[in-house]
């Protein structure tokens, strides 16, 4: 039941995100006087609609898309019937249908002749087409800011997460850089010395501790000498004395990859206690939220730029024995599955409980909105960025002609990019089908 609730939350979140994306197009279009004939959430058969004024508002059967239909998004061609214009709309799926009907025309009444999209200034066209992606950015910003400033995010803390049972004495190798415990290995010092899970370390050898880095550094550099730990356990403060065991560990580079020399791992002897760090919720100051969100946008953009490369791995995993990249692209089906897994998690109340699950679901929907923002900025039709690119080129042409005192070159016909749009639509359909298939037969799971 909890799994289904998580999936439903994601579906509703996706539908609302799409609806608000299209409102981002609708509001400035109406503000600038463009005639908007339809505002639809979803695609496929219409299950509900109402007409308000000149606009039909409705919901379609599959809530994974949407569109706003504006009159005259494409300028007339030589030979077009006077008073009629080719139709196109903001949604990717609906544009594919429109493009397949490229010869269809939409009647423009005489009183609407100046209410067509193509007659707007380039700046207003850009505002309308950027309205959708910017709405997704705003949604992502609000959701992420709310979570990180009001609730917080789990961060590594100077407390005990898990305790190892033993000291793994086997020598690390390239094949097994992190050997596991074997029969006969000595007990781990932390557990033998009285440490318990969730203990918070507040001082080592009399020195106050505030970060896990300080804890791990002190243990690593202990040189096998006894260490005194002051720990907070519930409402008590307890002193524990433990001697770290000397252990050969792999040397890691700046990217946390094992360092090798002549085909062998580079090792060094460090202190080992057998403690895995715990986590706690830490809030972020409001003034730091924009920087935090911007970092997430940059990370999202880097993933999207690598989608062609990543899709090779998705195909190999879907049709072969390869494993899915947990940081690779997923479809809405995959996002819904992750939402269900998050909702089904059993998280103790003292570790966040249901509130932590809600926060993770909110962040999942926020991440999806950041992905929609970045993806829609790609300057190719049928994406919003394709129309922005057309309007930008129009502004450059008009500005250059004005500067050189030449006649107005007229409107840029983005319909000339329809062959690219056909290709992009085919690519998008193929990617979507492949990702959905991969998310069914070999899904990415938060459980690994």
User: What CATH number does residue 222 fall under?
Assistant: 2.30.42.10
The pTM of this model reads 0.78
Same domain, 261 and 323: no
Q: Is residue 17 part of a domain?
A: no
Strand, helix or coil for residue 274: coil
Same-domain status, 168 and 273: yes
CB-based burial, 245-268: b 16+ in 10 Å, e otherwise: bebbbbeeeeeeeeeeeeeebebe
Q: Assess whether 275 and 344 both reside in one domain.
A: no
Its domain, for residue 167, covers 154-282
Tell me whether residue 251 is in a domain.
yes
Split into its structural domains, the chain has a count of 2
Check whether residue 165 and residue 239 sit in a common domain.
yes
Instruction: Indicate the residue among 335, 353, 372 that finishes a domain.
Output: 372
Instruction: Tell me, yes or no, if 248 is annotated catalytic.
Output: no
Domain boundary among 328, 353, 372: 372
Domain assignment present for 383:
no
**pLDDT tens, residue order, the chain (448 aa):** 778 888 888 888 888 999 999 999 999 999 999 999 889 888 788 899 899 988 999 998 877 788 888 887 777 765 555 555 555 555 544 444 444 334 334 566 777 778 888 888 999 999 999 999 999 999 999 999 999 999 888 888 898 888 888 888 777 666 666 777 778 788 889 888 899 988 999 999 989 988 998 998 898 888 778 999 999 998 889 999 999 988 777 776 666 666 777 666 677 777 888 888 888 888 899 999 999 999 999 988 888 888 877 787 788 787 877 777 777 777 778 888 888 888 887 777 766 778 888 888 999 899 999 999 998 898 877 788 888 988 898 889 888 888 888 888 887 777 676 677 677 777 777 878 888 888 887 777 765 5
Residues 299 and 350 both lie in one domain = yes
User: Residue 263: inside a domain, yes or no?
Assistant: yes
Whether residues 360 and 296 share a domain: the answer is: yes
Distance CA 431, CA 420 (A): 16
Residues 201 and 233 in one domain: yes
CA distances to 147, 356, 409 from 154, in Å: 11, 9, 56
Residue 168 in domain: yes
Which among 307, 342, 372 is the end of a domain? 372
Token pair, residue 141, equals: 């910003």
Most distant CA atoms of the chain, gap in Å: 91
- Residues for the chain: how many in total? 448
Residue 231 lies in a domain: yes
On whether both 298 and 246 belong to a single domain, the answer is no
Domain shared by 226 and 335, yes or no: no
Report helix, strand or coil for 246. strand
Considering 22, 106, 341, 394, which one is annotated as catalytic? Answer: 22
* Residue 361 near residue 339 (C-beta atoms within 8 A): yes
In a domain, 298, yes or no: yes
One domain, residues 244 and 335: no
Residue 363 structure tokens: 């962040």
Judgement on whether residues 334 and 356 belong to the same structural domain of the protein: yes
Same domain flag for 351 and 247: no
> What is the rounded end-to-end Cα distance, in angstroms, of the chain?
22
- The count of C-alpha atoms lying within 13 angstroms of the C-alpha of 366, restricted to the half-sphere facing its C-beta, is 21
Q: For residue 2, is it within any domain?
A: no
């Amino acid at each position: 039941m909890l799994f289904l609730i998580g999936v439903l939350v994601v579906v509703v979140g996706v539908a609302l995100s799409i609806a608000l994306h299209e409102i981002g197009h609708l509001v400035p279009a109406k503000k600038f006087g463009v005639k908007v004939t339809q505002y639809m959430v979803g695609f496929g058969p219409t299950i509900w609609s109402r007409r308000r004024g000149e606009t039909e508002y409705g919901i379609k059967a599959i809530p994974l898309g949407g569109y706003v239909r504006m009159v005259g998004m494409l300028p007339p061609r030589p030979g077009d019937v006077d008073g009629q214009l080719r139709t196109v709309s903001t949604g990717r799926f609906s544009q594919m249908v429109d493009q397949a009907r490229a010869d269809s025309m939409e009647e423009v009444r005489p009183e609407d002749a100046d209410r067509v999209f193509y007659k707007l200034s380039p700046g207003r066209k850009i505002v309308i087409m950027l309205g959708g992606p910017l709405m997704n950015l705003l949604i992502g910003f609000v959701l992420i800011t709310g979570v990180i400033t009001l609730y917080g995010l789990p961060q590594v803390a100077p407390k005990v997460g898990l305790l190892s049972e033993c000291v793994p004495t086997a020598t690390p190798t390239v094949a097994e850089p992190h050997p596991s415990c074997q029969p006969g290995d000595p007990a781990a010092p932390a557990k033998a010395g009285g440490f318990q899970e969730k203990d918070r370390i507040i001082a080592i050898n009399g020195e106050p501790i505030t970060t896990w880095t300080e804890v791990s550094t002190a243990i690593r550099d202990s040189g096998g000498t006894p260490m005194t730990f002051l720990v907070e356990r519930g409402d008590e403060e307890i002193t524990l004395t433990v001697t770290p065991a000397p252990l050969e560990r792999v040397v890691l580079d700046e990217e946390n990859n094992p360092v090798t020399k002549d085909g062998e791992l580079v090792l060094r002897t460090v202190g080992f206690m057998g403690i895995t760090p715990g986590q706690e919720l830490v809030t972020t100051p409001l003034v730091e939220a924009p920087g935090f969100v911007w970092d997430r946008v940059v990370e999202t953009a880097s993933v999207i730029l690598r989608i062609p490369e990543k899709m090779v791995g998705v195909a190999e995993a879907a049709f072969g024995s390869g494993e899915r990249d947990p940081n690779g692209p997923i479809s809405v089906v995959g996002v819904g599955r992750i939402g269900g897994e998050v909702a089904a998690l059993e998280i103790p109340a003292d570790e966040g409980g249901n509130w932590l699950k809600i926060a993770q679901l909110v962040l999942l929907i926020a991440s999806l909105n950041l992905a929609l923002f970045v993806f829609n900025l790609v300057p190719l039709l049928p994406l919003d960025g394709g129309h922005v690119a057309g309007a930008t080129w129009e502004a450059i042409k008009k500005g250059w002609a004005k500067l050189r005192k030449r006649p107005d070159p007229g409107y840029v016909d983005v319909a000339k990019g329809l062959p690219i749009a056909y290709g992009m639509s085919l690519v998008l359909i193929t990617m979507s089908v492949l990702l959905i298939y991969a998310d069914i037969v070999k899904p990415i799971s938060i459980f690994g």
